[in-house]
Amino acid sequence: MTRRFDIEAIMVPFLAVISAMLVGMVLTYVVTGYDPFGAYASLINGAIGSPSAIGATMLRAAPITLTGLSVMIAFRAGLFNIGGNGQAIMGLLLAGVVGVKLGALPGASHWIVALCGAAIAGGLWGALAGFLKVARGAHEVVVTIMLNYIAIRFGEYLLGLGGPLQEKGSSIPASTTFDTNAQLPVFWRPDPFTEVHVGVVIALAAATFAWFLIGRTALGFQIRAVGLQPDAAEYGGMSVTRITVIAMFIAGAFAGLGGAVATLGELERLQKSELAVIQIGFAGIAVALLGRTTAFGCLFAGLLMGALDSGAVGIQNDNALPPGVATKLIGVIQGLIVLFVGTDLVFRRLSHRIVGVFGGHGAAGMVKS
Amino acid sequence: MQAPADDAGVRADRQNPPVDPVSSSQPILELKGISKAFGDFYANKNVDFDLRAGEIHCLVGENGAGKSTMMNMLYGLLEPTEGTISMDGKPVAIHGPRHAIDLGIGMVHQHFMLIPVFTVAENIVLADEPTQGMALDMKSGEERVRELSDRYGLRVDPTSLVRDITVGQQQRAEILKALFRKARILILDEPTAVLTPQEIDELLKVVRQLRDEGMSIIMITHKLKEVLSIADRISVLRRGEMVGTVDCEGQTEQSLARMMVGRDVLLRVDKGESIPERPVLQLRNLWVKDERKLDAVRGATFEVHAGEIVALAGIDGNGQEELVDAIAGLRKIEQGEIVLDGENITGLTPHEISEAGLGHIPQDRLRRGMVVDFDLRENAMLHDWDKPDLVRFGIIDRGACADRADMLIEMYDVRTGGGSGSRAGSLSGGNQQKMVIAREIQRDPKLLIAAQPTRGVDIGAIEFIHRRLVEERDAGTAVLLVSLEMQEVLSLADRIIVIFEGQIVAEFEGGRVDEERLGLAMVGSADAAGGVA
Amino acid sequence: MEQFIDVWIIGLGVATLTYAPPLIFAALGGLFSERSGIVNIALEGMMTAGAFFAIYASVQSGSWVIGLVGAMLAGMALASVHAVATVTFQADQIVSGTAIILIAAGLVNFLNLTLFGQQGSPAELSTPPKPGGVSLLVPLAFALVALTAFVVFKTPFGLRLRSVGEHPRAADTVGINVFKMRYVAVIISGALAGLGGAFISFNVSSYTENMVAGNGFIALAALIVGKWKPVPVMLACLLFGFSQGLASRLPFGSPELLNSIPYVITLVALAGFVGKSVAPAAVGKPYVKH
């Protein structure tokens, strides 16, 4: 239960981030000809250089920390949840419905109900993938990819012209604005344009909850056993089927929350055009891998990824790179981080699980006569 | 049990030995001083072996004696740690399977290397495909397979998919694969393990014919009757070392069994008379299937009483694993009934059976018995994630878990690197096993199943484990010991039941049977089963 | 009546032949990769790279042929990364694929903005001719279906490719170099996915961000629905292309829901409700030698 301090657990992500940043630097110089040091200085400044920069970083970190936790929980159960996008969309759609349609809820209960609804909607979308896996043997990766696109199309239908959620009489494919009570309350305004809302607190609470769930509860114990060694879990009397579905529900709920936080915190209404470009599920994969699939690791990784995102804005504002380029560069860096961290971590984890210390097809087959 | 007809057939063959079995004195293949180490463990140690041209050389030995390791080195799948392999008198280093094939070595693996969704012919020609221009010429491939199959009487339809044909036919396809590649040396790794008696007869006929046409054959098996009926010479491996090579003439099942088992002094276990009480485990006509959907346990019926150790003896793969899994609820029961201390547990979940009073030391501790990446506290509570003394309102009481793990570590003298916080995978095999045993015994079971409890465990731990099992018996637990080690069975069991091909074929009183009779019963020899219940 | 024929028969036919070919190219790419045992969810990223580099190389060289070569090379470069990660380093194939999707999206748009600026690629560039309104790449797509069917099922290479995806150890024991086969297959898949991307961008004579828009994942879906066989995969692509074409011209109902048909069909196929779709047995598992 105690995780011994493991230098490697810090070093691998650290080296991955550094290497990815270095590649980004070379890319910046070779392709744009701009000064990479200047660009990176702007990046750091934009990420942590002022209270409002820090606020922006926190705001960007919140949703991807939540989707990171989603990927993390599924990963602990031995599943690859690539469906964070779809679960987030189902979550934000339900949050949007609550925010728009239930105009009468008093005070804080409105956004709380909206977030709870989002968690349930995302959770059910995730549980569906878990169910198809255990009941029908459908691989969760392809299933969740398909569910992502079904969620996008479903949302586009709801918000499209004439769709049930689209504002009546408007020519814009979007919902009416959220009730003010449904929008996430702001608790810190470092400057007039940066409004840090409770989504940040929710992400922090979610990470703590996930840490507690995984490490301290019987359910988390079962999730980890099923993920590490399903045969041993079965021997220990656990239902691999049940745990798989529950874990995917929880994973989906985190992603749904992530979608709702991004929406109710940052936007005034749901827009059809936003759905297809939602990437927080994918970013969650990067966060989970960089955070070495631990709850607080996800929190730190989420902050780091959030810092990169807000740093991109810093680069933009300082004109340290050609217009629009900064966010793309950050995309490359995030991808490289996944590649570097993922190849190492997962190589070790999988080699452990597949080859086994002794029990796989490799060693045992050779020694046995 | 072997059918009497089969028995007669074997004897008839023995009366007509081939005219000139051993033609040349120069060995076609020679192993000198071969060792293979995996870490500290020697799978083969200083092994000498030679194969003469045109002979059938049987390699026998118990499970884990190092037979497959030796053959994998010959086929280039493993590299020897020490020693030389020579072919036709010249030393060779075999770099890989392709190289082995080029040297004229063919191998039929115990687990067939066939692609289920390919046809027989496609499997056979793979990597040596006949072509016409750029295209694959399967017509001529099938033609050549058919020729070979007619010539050697290896009947199999080249156009059938491998997944649609019988295991016997698959094996013929494997042999054809070697013949197609013009092998001079054919290695057969436990070729009869998966076959029906009729298929075995047919296989042995083919093997003889191949030998008569000049092929040199190494056959690994532990079925002594087959060895005696087919071998020209026999080599015996024991615990990775070569005991010796003998001519088949003049050998008996008894003499071979003695070589296989050795003359080591029995491990002494101090134990008093057992006082069997009420029946705790009752199996009635139990039928269980294996992964391939074949009947693995066929109508097993027996009882284990409180206060006795019953050993289920048998050669690996005769249904023991499936039987234990069925009792523990880990495998579906096709037919029959299991009663645990008066309660019918047939079809219950593993959790319910565990609650009903089963302690289970599983055969494969690294797959089932413990979560390798969990620490010892977590492993100590593997069954008990819902017990109120450890978990309240779904929250784990970490102090209680640590206390329990510490107690188990202390009582069973588990040597750890970092106490109960150590990762299970960081412990030695013996200490891992002690931890599993500690957990299972501490749950105070009515029935304790110990499946190969000392596999991969050092001598000191073996004695400790044996003593604990006897103590548990004396405390009134029913103990079912499943073991492949004859010595363990003989030294621990109050009663021995022998399983062969999924059936209980013999029962002996502990201490009233010698290894030879037990060994013969384990290989399905009808005359050994004098003590059938 | 004539209008009906124009809009519905010809219009839908042309639409299908616009939407389906990129799916066919990419799905055939996926077929090579997965037949060898390597999952390639990064088809989307490789298509994105192909879409951009087709335009870039065409602009630079003035020749759409060079554009196609550029698209293929870009796809192959990303595929090589996937191969190194998954075959040599035995990384999780999904993680590597995810990384490549992220890298491709970032890098391509980065290059697009830096090399072409915010106004995008020049309006005038060499694109494949469209005799009768149908791009030359369309017949190429169908020719590649036939070629793939021949290579995969009628040549020694194809037999070895499939053996490696089904039972790499068996392939190894007869002397096939599993690693080499997988490298070759993954890189072929990159080239084909690149062509698929090129089709999309050449079709509108320019590259715009997110223009691949999930086509790589639909190709993956077609691969599953088509059960990893070239002709059924092509039919699935045509069906999916047709449903996209239909959605774009339906006067009633919801185009969005129609557009989700490929994904729903794939889910149903995956769940085994319409004849189980069985992947190559060893797909997704790294091969570790003895």
Residue pLDDT, tens place only, A303-330:
999 999 999 999 999 998 888 899 999 9
Interface test with B, best of A235, A351, A361 (most B CBs within 10 A): A235
Confidence of residue C253 (pLDDT cuts 50, 70, 90): low
Tell whether the model's pLDDT for residue B7 goes beyond 50: no
Which of B98, B116, B129 faces C156 most closely, judged by CB atoms?
B129
Confidence of residue C15 (pLDDT cuts 50, 70, 90): confident
Residue with the larger pLDDT of the pair B275 and B470:
B470
CB contact set of B151 (below 8 Å; sequence gap of 6+): none
Residues of A in contact with B398 (CB under 8 A): 1, 216
| Enclosing H/E stretch for B24 | none
Cβ-contact B222, B254 below 8 angstroms: no
| Enclosing H/E stretch for B19 | none
Start-end of H helices in B128-284: 138-152, 167-180, 197-212, 224-230, 253-261
Answer whether A233 sits within 8 Å of B383, measured CB to CB.
Answer: no
pLDDT at B38: 80
Tell whether the model's pLDDT for residue B418 goes beyond 50: yes
**What are the CA-CA distances from residue C142 to residues B376, C137, C233 (Å)?**
60, 9, 11
Interface test with A, best of C103, C243, C250 (most A CBs within 10 A): C103
Task: State chain A's mean pLDDT as an integer.
Answer: 87
Answer whether C174 sits within 8 Å of B101, measured CB to CB.
Answer: yes
**Given the DSSP bridges, would you call strands A186-191 and B447-451 parallel, antiparallel or unpaired?**
unpaired
Closest CA to B426 of B505, B490, B373: B373
Tell whether the model's pLDDT for residue B100 goes beyond 90: yes
Does residue A229 sit at the B interface (CB-CB below 8 Å)? yes
Tell whether the model's pLDDT for residue B3 goes beyond 60: no
Residues of C in contact with B128 (CB under 8 A): 174
Sheet containing B333-340: which strands, arranged edge to edge?
B295-305, B279-289, B333-340, B343-344
In order, the DSSP letters of C57-126 are: HHHHHS-HHHHHHHHHHHHHHHHHHHHIIIIIS---HHHHHHHHHHHHHHHHHHHIIIII-TT-S-S---
Tell whether the model's pLDDT for residue C274 goes beyond 60: no
- What number of C-beta contacts closer than 8 Å exist between A and B? 120
**What are the CA-CA distances from residue A74 to residues A246, B369, B373, C115 (Å)?**
10, 24, 17, 40
Strands in B290-409 per DSSP E: 295-305, 309-313, 333-340, 343-344, 358-361, 391-392, 395-396
Report residue B174 CA to chain centroid gap: 21
Residues of C in contact with B181 (CB under 8 A): 174
**Given the DSSP bridges, would you call strands B309-313 and B358-361 parallel, antiparallel or unpaired?**
unpaired
**What are the CA-CA distances from residue B125 to residues B67, B152, C5 (Å)?**
28, 17, 53
pLDDT at B398: 92
Strands in chain A per DSSP E: 186-191, 194-197
Q: Which of residues 189-218 of A touch B (CB under 8 A)?
A: 216-218
Which of C113, C254, C267 faces A160 most closely, judged by CB atoms?
C254
Residue of B nearest to A227 (CA): B371
Residues shown for chain B: 533
Answer whether C106 sits within 8 Å of A331, measured CB to CB.
Answer: yes
Residues B225, B230, B231: CA angle, nearest 5 degrees: 100
pLDDT at A26: 93
Task: State chain B's mean pLDDT as an integer.
Answer: 87
Q: Which of residues 171-210 of C touch B (CB under 8 A)?
A: 171-176
CB contact set of A249 (below 8 Å; sequence gap of 6+): A123, A124, A126, A127, A130
Euclidean distance between CA atoms B505 and B502, whole angstroms: 9
Does residue A363 sit at the B interface (CB-CB below 8 Å)? yes
Euclidean distance between CA atoms C22 and B359, whole angstroms: 59
pLDDT at C288: 78
Answer whether C106 sits within 8 Å of A329, measured CB to CB.
Answer: yes
Confidence of residue A8 (pLDDT cuts 50, 70, 90): low
**What are the CA-CA distances from residue A192 to residues A49, A188, A196, A265 (Å)?**
17, 10, 11, 15
Does residue A367 sit at the C interface (CB-CB below 8 Å)? no
Residue of B nearest to C153 (CA): B136
**What are the CA-CA distances from residue C171 to residues B113, B128, C37, C290 (Å)?**
8, 11, 12, 13
Residues of B in contact with C155 (CB under 8 A): 131, 134-136
Tell whether the model's pLDDT for residue C287 goes beyond 90: no
Euclidean distance between CA atoms C240 and C234, whole angstroms: 10
Residue of A nearest to C111 (CA): A31
Euclidean distance between CA atoms B404 and B385, whole angstroms: 13
Residues of B in contact with A223 (CB under 8 A): none
Euclidean distance between CA atoms B306 and C78, whole angstroms: 66
- SS3 sequence, B106-136? EEECCCCCCCCCCEHHHHHHCCCCCEECCEE
Cβ-contact B501, B318 below 8 angstroms: yes
Segment C163-166 long-range contacts (CB within 8 Å, at least 24 positions apart): C163/B115, C163/B118, C163/B126, C164/C36, C164/C37, C164/C282, C164/C287, C165/C34, C165/C35, C165/C36, C165/C37, C165/C280, C165/C281, C165/C282, C165/C283, C166/B115, C166/B116, C166/B117, C166/B118, C166/C37, C166/C280, C166/C281, C166/C282
Closest CA to B55 of B13, B92, B20, B82: B20
Average pLDDT score over residue span B128-149: 94
Euclidean distance between CA atoms B216 and C262, whole angstroms: 58
* Residues A335/A341/A345/A347 CA torsion (nearest 10 deg): 60
Start-end of H helices in chain C: 2-4, 11-35, 43-61, 64-83, 93-111, 137-154, 156-166, 168-173, 178-204, 215-225, 230-248, 255-259, 261-270
The DSSP code for A268 is S
Answer whether A358 sits within 8 Å of B366, measured CB to CB.
Answer: yes
Tell whether the model's pLDDT for residue B299 goes beyond 80: yes
pLDDT at A324: 86
Which of B75, B101, B115 faces C170 most closely, judged by CB atoms?
B115
pLDDT at A333: 94
Radius of gyration of the CA atoms of chain A, in A: 21
pLDDT at B12: 37
Give chain B's largest Cα–Cα span. Answer: 79
Confidence of residue B23 (pLDDT cuts 50, 70, 90): very low
Give the range with max mean pLDDT: B59-73, B187-201, B219-233, C35-49.
C35-49
pLDDT at B9: 37
Euclidean distance between CA atoms A183 and B34, whole angstroms: 75
Closest CA to C113 of A329, A334, A40, A324: A324
Residues shown for chain C: 290
Euclidean distance between CA atoms A84 and A64, whole angstroms: 10
Answer whether A239 sits within 8 Å of B43, measured CB to CB.
Answer: no
Confidence of residue C131 (pLDDT cuts 50, 70, 90): confident
Answer whether B350 sits within 8 Å of A359, measured CB to CB.
Answer: no
Radius of gyration of the CA atoms of chain C, in A: 19
Residues of B in contact with A367 (CB under 8 A): 38, 41, 43, 64, 69
Confidence of residue B63 (pLDDT cuts 50, 70, 90): low
User: Tokens for A22?
Assistant: 């270095």
Could you tell me which chains touch chain A, where touching means 3 or more CB pairs under 8 A? B, C
Does residue A367 sit at the B interface (CB-CB below 8 Å)? yes
Could you tell me which chains touch chain B, where touching means 3 or more CB pairs under 8 A? A, C
pLDDT at C290: 56
Residue type at B218 in one-letter notation: I
Number of Cβ atoms within 10 Å of the Cβ of B214 = 10
Residue with the larger pLDDT of the pair B403 and B68:
B403
Which residues on neighbouring strands pair with residue A197, listed in sequence order? A186
Residues of A in contact with B330 (CB under 8 A): 234-235
Euclidean distance between CA atoms A121 and A259, whole angstroms: 11
pLDDT at B262: 66
**What are the CA-CA distances from residue C118 to residues A35, A110, B248 (Å)?**
20, 42, 86
Which of A32, A331, A344 faces C105 most closely, judged by CB atoms?
A331
Query: pLDDT, tens digit, for every residue of B351-366?
Result: 999 999 999 999 988 8
Query: pLDDT, tens digit, for every residue of B477-491?
Result: 999 999 887 778 888
Residue of B nearest to A368 (CA): B64
Q: Is the dihedral of CA C96, C99, C105, C111 positive or negative?
A: negative
Does residue A356 sit at the B interface (CB-CB below 8 Å)? yes
Average pLDDT score over residue span A44-49: 93
Residues of B in contact with A231 (CB under 8 A): 367-368
Which of A80, A142, A335 faces C103 most closely, judged by CB atoms?
A335
Euclidean distance between CA atoms B15 and B303, whole angstroms: 43
Tell whether the model's pLDDT for residue A211 goes beyond 50: yes
Residues of C in contact with A136 (CB under 8 A): 270-273
Average pLDDT score over residue span A26-39: 90
Does residue B116 sit at the C interface (CB-CB below 8 Å)? yes
pLDDT at C276: 55
Q: Which of residues 67-126 of A touch C (CB under 8 A)?
A: 80, 82
HSE at residue C132, side-chain half, CA atoms within 13 A, is 9
Euclidean distance between CA atoms B56 and B21, whole angstroms: 8
Residues C22, A337, A252: CA angle, nearest 5 degrees: 70
Tell whether the model's pLDDT for residue B6 goes beyond 80: no
pLDDT at C251: 66
Number of Cβ atoms within 10 Å of the Cβ of A91 = 36
Task: Tell me what percent of the residues of chain B surpass a pLDDT of 90.
Answer: 59
Q: What is the pTM of this model?
A: 0.85
Does residue A223 sit at the C interface (CB-CB below 8 Å)? no
Residue of B nearest to A213 (CA): B395
Euclidean distance between CA atoms C224 and C267, whole angstroms: 10
Residue of A nearest to B328 (CA): A235
Q: How far is A242 from chain C (nearest CA, A)?
A: 18
Residue type at B462 in one-letter notation: I
Task: State chain C's mean pLDDT as an integer.
Answer: 90
